[in-house]
């Protein structure tokens, strides 16, 4: 199960955060700082997984943004890496050559896309086309 | 509620405006900006126009992401979740998780909102389910369970999959909801054809396994059914994962999976699926050699892969090989992978070897890790090596001599932390206690290690004490070199009786020559103690008095540097007393105290007036006969005491000798190897200790006494 998802830039600014397990506000801030501190100093020869408290952090860097997932120890790391890549591909297809500013100004769209992929911490859809179609259907109703 | 005029709408700030302003505002003006924006939002949320309220909602969401508290807007957001406008509803549902938590009082209102939304169109229902998946708690789950269950039979796969995903959370929060409801879901899934819905169903089963594993028989058949026909990698990964858990509960299930696992292993190119399969096979399929071998081949590919992620996962799989024989198969790949790995992977590899090193690969492992340690992982490597060596009372060590003379000095050189220095010290003590025959090598070991310390420049520059400032008080703590130095000195001191004369003289020359005294200031008492023991041993071992004068000079040089000559004088003097066996020499000393005490010197009384009635010219000893009686009693006592002491000394020597002989007999192999190297223990301990330095004679003894003694000898 996915416990939380964070999108942070190199300066530690959180662009997107989704929490599937209850944490109070102070704990959320602490977690964001801790995760950023752990992943920002790792270079390319390090693995994309690391132990974090009793869970695992799986992260991937795309340009200046770090996509980090906190998952249970029993979850498949490679699957989660694939999920991060899928999310980036969907964002790229939706926004067309996505960049950090697209997420800053259209965070509500980014959250909508995420909600089509993950519900209650579980992956519900992995087809790029199905996800894009679902988001476009929502836009039609707007 | 109010209606904004067209004029007002022109000046209305959109989300993009707020974002731009926030990015360009300085830190000092941020508070003003935030306060102003929140005030605007509060007004806009009460507007009748949905577009205005929607923008206000998005701006509120943005401020929450910036770290501002928006819990004051809980009621407004819940209200908007039930709005007729889908855009507003969606915005409110996205923002819901920021204001609603387990303790929110608005949760009661949310229940009715959700029940109403579940009856709407499939898109609205879908977004409501996504929202519920994020904010569900116990009360909400219990209230909405029946509604969510109904949605699992919806015609749209979008609704079905999200409903099952939400059920997964509901069952995890409150497992009491599972009985009675799970069967209905399983019946639906048995007829299901959509892969996404099936994948959500398998995730549901995984969640149930965590909270109620005994319910596994309900979905065992459906898992097996799907694993035999599915082709989607995402679904297969989930199926293999749940099969892994099912095998531990139902071992008979293992047999049924062999064929499918073999097929999947041979057909798939997906690394994530391969990893999941290898993980399961390494854990549960050790008895099936063909499958195990195939998995082993793929595992070797993982260990040799350029991608550090795959190498790390390969090592993760290896932790499930419970025998060292099994691990030996992969040893070469693991060690190769160590060279390219990052810090965390190196820790994984070290842990593997800590668990699985044995006598067969002990030397290979030690030599490899000593060769490939780097700055980052050096501390952990040394800690692991010490653990491997000392594990189960040195069970892995088949050549203690090589360990002591070859590996231990290299380990000592690489130690750079206090914790490891303490572990090293304990290792040495334990090794030499358990293999007493090795004590003859203690001087060699000492020289090897200290020679390295001496050649490294920093050991000669300044003291080796760490000055640690804690709470404004300066406190001193030993650094790792000092700890090792002290332990070596102690070991040599304990082994003095087993060392050759040459070795002992070399140690003294070493200590004197390299000026170590300046570096290891806090070990001076240990050095003093060692020199003392060496000196006594040299006296015993050198009956012809050939090297004693040279040694005395060296020791004197050392003590001169230590400025501790008084200690030397006193210690040498009392040692000579112990060594003297003849009563006559002791008698000379008795004579010192036999004579009457002289009366108080008049000169001394100039300043201090004697008490009244005291005749300073009169002797203290009034009753001579009484004194004589005491003296005689004392002299008998002293004589008997001396005899007793002599007897005790002889018995002690005999006892030590017997202990040494029994220790030597216990380790027969070591004795046979080390016999030609061992010193003969000198039985003749009646060496007389001679002081040949007039200026250093203590008061009461003059050179004539010494000369007289020599003539008698």
Chain A: nearest CA to B512, how far in angstroms?
A: 49
**pLDDT (0 to 100) of residue A123:** 93
SS3 A21: coil
Shortest CB distance from B168 goes to which of A105, A116, A122? A122
Q: What are phi and psi of B152, to 5 degrees?
A: -70, -15
Q: Residue B597 — very low, low, confident or very high, per pLDDT cuts 50/70/90?
A: low
Angstroms from A29 CA to nearest CA on chain B? 8
From chain A, the residues in CB contact with B101 under 8 A are 22, 24
List the single residue in A18, A50, A124 with the smallest CB-CB distance to B162.
Answer: A124
Q: How far away is chain A from the Cα of B328, in angstroms, using its nearest Cα?
A: 25
Q: Is the pLDDT of residue B258 over 60?
A: yes
Asked if A107's CB is within 8 angstroms of B234's CB, the reply is no
Interface check for B394 against chain A (CB to CB < 8 A): the answer is no
Contact A108 B58 (CB under 8 A): yes
Give the pLDDT confidence of B203-225 residue by residue, as tens digits. Answer: 999 999 989 888 889 888 899 99
Q: Contact at 8 Å (CB) between B529 and B559?
A: no
**What is the distance between the alpha carbons of residues A110 and B426, in angstroms, rounded to a whole number?**
58
Cα separation, B631 vs A124, in Å, equals: 105
Which residue reads 């499958």 in tokens? B291
- Rounded to the nearest 10 degrees, the angle between the axes of helix B15-24 and helix B27-44 is 160
B505-550 per-position pLDDT tens digit: 778 777 775 556 666 666 777 777 787 788 777 777 777 777 777 7
Q: In the prediction, which pLDDT does B261 show?
A: 92
How far does the CA of residue A79 sit from the closest CA of chain B (Å)?
6
Does B272 score more than 90 pLDDT?
yes
Q: Which of B272, B298, B339 to mutate to test the interface with A (most CBs of A within 10 A)?
A: B272
Going by pLDDT thresholds of 50, 70 and 90, the confidence category of residue B235 is very high
B345–A50 C-beta distance less than 8 A: no
Across the range B643-658, mean pLDDT stands at 72
Say what the pLDDT of residue B685 is.
Answer: 37
Q: Which among B463, B383, B450, B474 is positioned nearest to B423, based on CA atoms?
A: B383
Between B487 and B707, whose confidence is greater? B487
Q: Is the pLDDT of residue B76 over 50?
A: yes
Nearest Cα of chain B lies from the Cα of A55 at a distance, in angstroms, of 15
Structure confidence at residue B130 as a pLDDT band (50, 70, 90):
very high
Kindly report the backbone phi and psi dihedral angles of residue B466, in degrees, each rounded to the nearest multiple of 5, phi listed first. -90, 130
Q: Which residue has the higher pLDDT, B475 or B269?
A: B269
Range 247-276 of B in CB contact (< 8 A) with A: 271-272, 275-276
> With bands split at pLDDT 50, 70 and 90, how would you rate the model's confidence at B34?
confident
Contact A119 B129 (CB under 8 A): yes
Q: Using the predicted structure, report yes or no on whether residue B642 has a pLDDT greater than 80.
A: no
- Band (B662; pLDDT cuts 50, 70, 90): low
Q: Which residues of B touch A131 (CB under 8 A)?
A: none
Spatial distance between the Cα atoms of B152 and B236, rounded to a whole number of angstroms = 22
- The residue with tokens 């996962």 is B313
Q: Give the Cα separation of B97 and B88 in Å (integer).
A: 15
Cβ contacts (< 8 Å) between A139 and chain B: which residues?
A: none
Which of A21, A32, A47 to mutate to probe the B interface, most B CBs <10 Å?
A47
User: How far B406 CA lies from chain A's nearest CA (Å)?
Assistant: 34
Q: What is the pLDDT of residue B457?
A: 39
Which of A62-76, B489-503, B560-574 is modeled with the greatest confidence? A62-76
Locate the chain B residue with the closest alpha carbon to A16.
Answer: B65
Lowest pLDDT segment from A36-50, B113-127, B609-623: B609-623
B200 touches chain A (CB under 8 A): yes
From chain A, the residues in CB contact with B309 under 8 A are 47-49, 77-78, 81
Q: pLDDT by residue (tens digit) across B436-474?
A: 777 778 777 877 777 766 655 344 334 444 443 333 344
Q: Across the interface, do B123 and A138 touch by the CB < 8 Å criterion?
A: yes
Closest approach of A96 to chain B, Cα-based (Å): 19
Mutate to test the interface with B, among A26, A124, A137, A138 (most CBs of B within 10 A): A124
Q: Which residues of A touch B200 (CB under 8 A)?
A: 122, 124
Average pLDDT along chain B: 77
How many Cβ atoms sit within 10 Å of the Cβ of residue B677? 12
Side-chain half-sphere CA neighbours of B507 within 13 A: 30
B588: phi then psi, degrees, rounded to nearest 5: -60, -40
In whole angstroms, give the CA distance from residue B92 to residue B95: 5
**Scanning every residue of chain A, which has its alpha carbon at the shortest distance from the alpha carbon of B126?**
A116
The reported pLDDT for the residue numbered A134 is 92
pLDDT of residue B690 exceeding 60, the answer is: no
Contact: B134, A50; criterion CB under 8 Å: no
Supply the pLDDT for residue A48: 92
Q: Do B234 and A1 touch (CB under 8 A)?
A: no
Weakest mean pLDDT among B86-95, B101-110, B308-317: B101-110
pLDDT-flagged residues of chain A (< 50): none
Q: Give residue B563's pLDDT.
A: 54
With a cut of 80, say whether residue B709 has pLDDT above it: no
Asked if residue B490 has pLDDT above 70, the reply is yes
Q: What pLDDT, on a 0 to 100 scale, did the predictor assign at position B639?
A: 67
Contact at CB, B124 and A141, closer than 8 angstroms: yes
Provide the residue count of chain A: 142
Which residues of B27-148 form beta strands (DSSP E)? none
Is the Cβ pair B309, A121 closer than 8 Å? no
d(CA A78, CA A48): 9
Size of interface A-B (CB pairs under 8 A): 123
Partner A contacted by B237 (CB < 8 A): yes
Going from the C-alpha of B570 to that of each of B76, B115, B232, B696, the distances in angstroms are: 91, 97, 89, 9
Query: B345 touching A, CB under 8 A?
Result: yes
Alpha helices in B285-390 (DSSP H): 289-304, 308-318, 324-328, 331-340, 343-356, 362-371, 378-390
Instruction: Find which of B501-510, B583-592, B637-646 is predicted with most confidence, using mean pLDDT.
Output: B501-510
Shortest CA distance to B681 belongs to which of B665, B697, B658?
B658
Residue B472: predicted pLDDT: 39
Most confident of A76-90, B118-132, B337-351: A76-90
pLDDT tens figures, B418-441 = 889 899 999 888 888 887 777 778
Chain A partners within 8 Å of B165 (Cβ):
119-120, 122, 124
Which one of A19, A51, A141 has the shortest CB-CB distance to B86? A141
Instruction: Please indicate whether, in this complex, the C-beta atoms of B91 and A108 are within 8 angstroms of each other.
Output: yes
Chain A residues near residue B87 by CB distance under 8 angstroms: 141-142
pLDDT at B534: 81
Name every chain A residue with its beta carbon within 8 A of the beta carbon of B16: 105
Q: Which of A66-75, B68-77, B490-499, B557-566 has the lowest mean pLDDT?
A: B557-566
Angle at B446 between CA B443 and CA B452, to 5 degrees: 140
Instruction: Return the pLDDT at B598.
Output: 61
- Lowest-confidence segment of B204-208, B246-250, B661-665 by average pLDDT: B661-665
Alpha carbon of B8: minimum distance to chain A alpha carbons (Å)? 23
Residue B479 has pLDDT above 90, yes or no: no
Q: What is the pLDDT of residue B204?
A: 93
Residues 6+ apart with CB under 8 A from B158: A134, B122, B126
Is B59 part of the contact surface with chain A (CB cutoff 8 Å)? no
ipTM score of complex: 0.94
Closest to B320 (Cα-Cα) out of B281, B346, B275, B276: B281
- The closest CB to that of A105, out of B19, B123, B165, belongs to B19
CB of B283 within 8 Å of any CB in chain A? no
Q: Does this model's pTM top 0.90? A: no
Q: What Å distances lie between residue B328 and B281, B284, B289, CA to CA?
A: 18, 19, 16
pLDDT above 80 for B579: no
Task: Determine the residue among B53, B94, B198 to mutate to test chain A binding: the one whose Cβ has the most chain A Cβ atoms within 10 Å.
Answer: B94
Indicate the residue of B90, B121, B237 with minimum beta-carbon distance to A76: B237
Whether chain A has a CB inside 8 Å of the CB on B524: the answer is no
Q: CB burial class (10 A; 0-12, 13-18, 19+) of residue B511?
A: buried
CB burial of residue B479 (10 Å; 0-12, 13-18, 19+): middle
B77-96 mean pLDDT: 86
CA dihedral B246, B248, B251, B256 (to 10 degrees): 40
- C-beta atoms of A141 and B129 within 8 A: no
Which residues is B469 bridged to in the sheet?
A: B474
């Amino acid at each position: 199960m996915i416990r939380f998802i964070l999108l942070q830039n190199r300066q530690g600014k959180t662009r997107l955060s989704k929490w599937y397990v209850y944490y109070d506000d102070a704990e959320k801030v602490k977690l964001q700082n801790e995760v950023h501190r752990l992943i920002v100093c790792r270079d390319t020869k390090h693995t994309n997984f690391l132990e974090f408290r009793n869970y695992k952090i799986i992260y991937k860097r795309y340009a200046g943004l770090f996509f980090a997932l906190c998952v249970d120890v029993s979850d498949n790391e490679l699957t989660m890496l694939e999920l991060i890549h899928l999310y980036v591909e969907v964002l790229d297809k939706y926004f067309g050559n996505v960049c950090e500013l697209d997420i800053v100004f259209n965070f509500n769209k980014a959250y909508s896309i995420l909600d089509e992929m993950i519900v209650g911490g579980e992956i519900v859809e992995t087809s790029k086309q199905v996800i894009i179609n679902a988001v476009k259907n929502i836009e039609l109703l707007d | 509620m109010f209606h904004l005029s067209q004029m007002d709408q022109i000046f209305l700030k959109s989300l993009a405006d707020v974002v731009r302003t926030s990015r360009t505002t300085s830190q000092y003006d941020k508070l003003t900006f935030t306060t102003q924006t929140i005030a605007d939002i509060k007004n806009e949320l009460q507007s009748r126009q949905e577009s205005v309220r929607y923008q206000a909602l998005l701006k509120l969401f943005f401020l929450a992401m910036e770290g501002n508290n928006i819990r004051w807007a809980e009621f407004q957001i819940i209200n908007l979740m039930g709005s007729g406008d889908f855009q507003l509803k969606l915005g409110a549902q996205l923002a819901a998780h920021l204001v609603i938590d387990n303790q929110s009082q608005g949760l009661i209102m949310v229940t009715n909102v959700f029940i109403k939304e579940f009856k709407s169109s499939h898109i609205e229902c879908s977004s409501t389910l996504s929202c519920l998946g994020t904010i569900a708690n116990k009360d909400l789950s219990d209230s909405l369970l029946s509604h969510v269950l109904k949605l699992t039979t919806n015609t749209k796969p979008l609704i079905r999959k999200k409903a099952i995903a939400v059920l997964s959370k509901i069952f995890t929060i409150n497992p009491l909801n599972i009985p009675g409801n799970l069967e209905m879901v399983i019946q639906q899934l048995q007829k299901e054809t959509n892969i996404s819905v099936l994948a959500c169903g398998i995730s549901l089963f995984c969640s149930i396994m965590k909270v109620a594993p005994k319910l596994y028989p309900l979905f065992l058949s459906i898992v097996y059914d799907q694993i035999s026909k599915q082709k989607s990698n995402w679904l297969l990964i989930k199926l293999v994962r749940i099969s892994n858990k099912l095998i531990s509960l139902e071992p008979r299930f293992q047999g049924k999976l062999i064929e499918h696992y073999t097929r999947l292993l041979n057909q798939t190119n997906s690394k994530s699926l391969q990893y999941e399969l290898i993980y399961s096979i390494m854990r549960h399929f050790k008895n099936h050699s063909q499958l195990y071998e195939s998995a082993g081949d793929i595992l070797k590919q993982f260990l040799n892969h350029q991608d550090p992620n795959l190498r790390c996962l390969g090592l993760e799989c290896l932790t499930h090989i419970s025998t060292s024989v099994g691990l030996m198969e992969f040893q070469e790949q693991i060690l190769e992978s160590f060279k390219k790995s990052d810090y965390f992977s190196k820790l994984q590899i070290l842990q593997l070897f800590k668990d699985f090193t044995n006598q067969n690969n002990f030397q290979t492992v030690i030599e490899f890790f000593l060769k490939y340690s780097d700055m980052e992982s050096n501390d952990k490597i040394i800690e692991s090596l010490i653990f491997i060596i000392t594990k189960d009372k040195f069970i892995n060590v088949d050549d203690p001599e090589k360990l002591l003379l070859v590996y231990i000095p290299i380990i000592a050189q690489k130690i750079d932390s206090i914790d490891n220095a303490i572990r090293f010290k304990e290792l040495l003590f334990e090794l030499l206690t358990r293999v007493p025959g090795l004590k003859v090598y203690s001087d060699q070991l000492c020289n090897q290690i200290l020679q390295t310390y001496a050649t490294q420049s920093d050991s000669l520059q300044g003291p080796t004490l760490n000055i640690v400032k804690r709470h404004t008080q300066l406190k001193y703590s030993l650094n790792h070199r000092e700890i090792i130095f002290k332990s070596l000195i102690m070991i040599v001191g304990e082994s003095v009786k087993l060392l050759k004369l040459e070795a002992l003289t070399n140690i003294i020359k070493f200590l004197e020559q390299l000026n170590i005294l300046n570096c290891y200031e806090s070990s001076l008492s240990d050095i003093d103690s060692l020199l003392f023991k060496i000196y006594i041993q040299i006296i015993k071992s050198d009956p012809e008095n050939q090297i004693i004068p040279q040694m005395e000079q060296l020791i004197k040089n050392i003590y001169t540097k230590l400025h501790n000559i008084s200690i030397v004088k006193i210690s040498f003097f009392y040692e000579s007393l112990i060594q003297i066996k003849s009563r006559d020499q002791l008698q000379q000393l008795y004579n010192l105290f036999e004579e009457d005490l002289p009366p108080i010197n008049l000169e001394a009384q100039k300043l201090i007036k004697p008490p009244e009635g005291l005749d300073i010219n009169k002797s203290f000893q009034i009753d001579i006969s009484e004194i004589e009686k005491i003296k005689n009693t004392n002299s008998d006592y002293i004589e008997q005491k001396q005899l007793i002491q002599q007897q005790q000394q002889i018995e002690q020597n005999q006892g030590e000798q017997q202990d040494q002989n029994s220790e030597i007999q216990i380790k027969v192999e070591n004795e046979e190897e080390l016999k030609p190297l061992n010193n003969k223990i000198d039985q003749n301990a009646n060496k007389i200790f001679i002081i040949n330095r007039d200026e250093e004679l203590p008061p009461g003894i003059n050179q004539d006494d010494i000369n007289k003694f020599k003539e008698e000898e």
